Amino acid sequence: MSVENKHAGFNCAEIALYIHIPFCEKKCRYCGFYSEPIELHNAESLVSALVAEMGRYQFGGNIRTAYIGGGSPSILPLELLLKLVGEVVSCCPDVEEFTIEVNPGQVDEGILQKLHDSGVNRLSIGGQSFNKSELEFLGRGHQAADIKRAVSAARKAGFGNISLDLIFAIPGSTLQSWEYSLGCAIDLGVGHISAYSLTYEEETPLAKLRERGKVAAVDEETDRAMYETAIEKLEQAGFAQYEISNFAKPGFQCRHNLFYWANKPYIGIGPAAASYWQGRRTTNVADSEKYIQLIQGGESTIAESEEPNEIEIACETAVLNLRRRSGIDLVEFKKQTGFDALELFADASANNERLGLIEQNEGRIFLTRKALPIADSVLCDFAGV
């Protein structure tokens, strides 16, 4: 399979690689991703299948960023994880950013050292909160102290590029408890923080509890205040918000995720992994056993596939671009989609500009600061023409 991309006039020499590890120790209440308890499966077969799927592509030197996510990649036995990392490094000699997601309770300095030495150069730690009750509520298997330990171990292992995930608007949390978590995260000196409002994904135990009235979501006003506080405090601490939920000190932006928000192509490996490749958005089967079977049988692992037309691509690109604080770059947009964004989204831009939710400046269209908490109500105007 050669590396080609349908986007006319767009430099597709750079693509991103995502690998999904569908295993966890136990499922967190709020998680909407595909994952299963590791004991139930043969991790070795899975990793071999992942490697086999990678082998179906000929990346050459085109992969710039690699990201192993999940699930919990750090639940894998170390030798399997290292095997996988090794495969990535050999398939993708020109990879520049290689991230692994880890859980604070599942790594120590030894493990992290080996990962670092194998070629991983960025770590994303699933901290979520520094408050005991909140961690318990979420069903995370670690304590606040574990987060500190993991960051410290990562540093000692040689990682300079560390990201921390945080969740706010957890039932039972307050503005103060959130500020506390933020403070702890900032104090750890990491280069990148993602701050997400707790989302009640369909069919998760958390969503069901809320439906049944057993759990009360944080009210809208507080949720908003928490978000505003995050932006404010993180900015004060030297982080620049570069996407709705993502904050980075200079030089620490996540290049892999920037591929998504630029609507550039990427390849997803593993069960339930998504790809945007050769003009198609596909998703692999969300079932480990089935995935392994299909790989072993030499068959396609694709469960869903869509081929957006030109206009749809333009809309998707606009929506994703607008997630970035830098917004839509008019020149890039034209090169990538063939459309003039100001023409295509004339009404949407004008209406939202009038309301002070969109701004146009220096060849870019972007969400204003005050639009951020209600971004979806603006983005929907760009979702179609």
Partner 1 sequence: MSTEYIRNFSIIAHIDHGKSTLADRIMELTGAVTSREAKAQLLDDMDIERERGITIKASAVTMKYSCEGKEYMFNLIDTPGHVDFHYEVSRALAACEGALLVVDATQGVQAQTVANAYLAAGTGAEMIGVINKVDLAAAQPEITAEEIEHVLGMKKEECLHISAKSGLGVQELLDAIVKRLPAPLDRGNEPTAALIFDSVSDDYRGVICYVRVFAGKLRVKQKIRFMSRGRAYIVTELGKLTPKMTPVDELGAGEVGYVIGNIRTLADVTIGDTITDDAAPAEKALPGYKAPMQMVFSDFYPGNNTDYDKLRTAFEKLAINDSSFSFIPQNSPALGFGFRCGFLGLLHMEIVQERLERENDIDVVQTAPTVSYEILMSDDTVKKIDSPSELPDLSKVKELREPFVRLEIITTTDSIGGIMKLAESRRCHLLKTDYLSQTRVIMEYKAPLAEIVYDFYDLLKGISHGYATMDYEFMDFEESDLVRIDILVNKIPVDALSLIVHRTKAESRGRRLIVKLRKTIPRHQFEIPLQVAIGGKIIARESIKPFRKDVTAKLYGGDVTRKMKVLKRQKEGKKRLKSVGQVQIPQEAFMSILEDSD
Q: Footprint of partner 1 on this chain (CB under 8 A)? A: 18, 196-199, 220-221, 223-224, 227, 244-245, 257, 260-261, 266, 268, 272-276, 281, 283, 304, 306, 312, 315-316, 319-320, 323, 351, 354-355, 357, 372-381, 383-384
CA dist., res. 372 & res. 227, Å (int): 9
Task: Identify which of residues 161 and 321 has a Cβ nearer to partner 1 in the complex.
Answer: 321
Distance of closest approach, residue 123 Cβ to partner 1, in angstroms? 18
Distance of closest approach, residue 226 Cβ to partner 1, in angstroms? 10
Distance of closest approach, residue 200 Cβ to partner 1, in angstroms? 11
Task: Identify which of residues 112 and 372 has a Cβ nearer to partner 1 in the complex.
Answer: 372
Task: Identify which of residues 235 and 306 has a Cβ nearer to partner 1 in the complex.
Answer: 306
Task: Identify which of residues 143 and 368 has a Cβ nearer to partner 1 in the complex.
Answer: 368
Task: Identify which of residues 331 and 374 has a Cβ nearer to partner 1 in the complex.
Answer: 374
Distance of closest approach, residue 1 Cβ to partner 1, in angstroms? 19
Distance of closest approach, residue 109 Cβ to partner 1, in angstroms? 29
Distance of closest approach, residue 351 Cβ to partner 1, in angstroms? 8
CA dist., res. 134 & res. 142, Å (int): 11
Task: Identify which of residues 13 and 350 has a Cβ nearer to partner 1 in the complex.
Answer: 350
Distance of closest approach, residue 269 Cβ to partner 1, in angstroms? 12
Task: Identify which of residues 95 and 379 has a Cβ nearer to partner 1 in the complex.
Answer: 379
CA dist., res. 81 & res. 100, Å (int): 10
Place of tokens 């408890």: 177
Q: Is 226 exposed, middle or buried (0-12, 13-18, 19+ CB in 10 A)?
A: buried
Structure tokens at 73: 């990649």
Distance of closest approach, residue 357 Cβ to partner 1, in angstroms? 7
Task: Identify which of residues 310 and 376 has a Cβ nearer to partner 1 in the complex.
Answer: 376
Contact 170, 228 (CB under 8 A): no
* Best CA proximity match to 105, nearest among 158, 78, 145, 63: 145
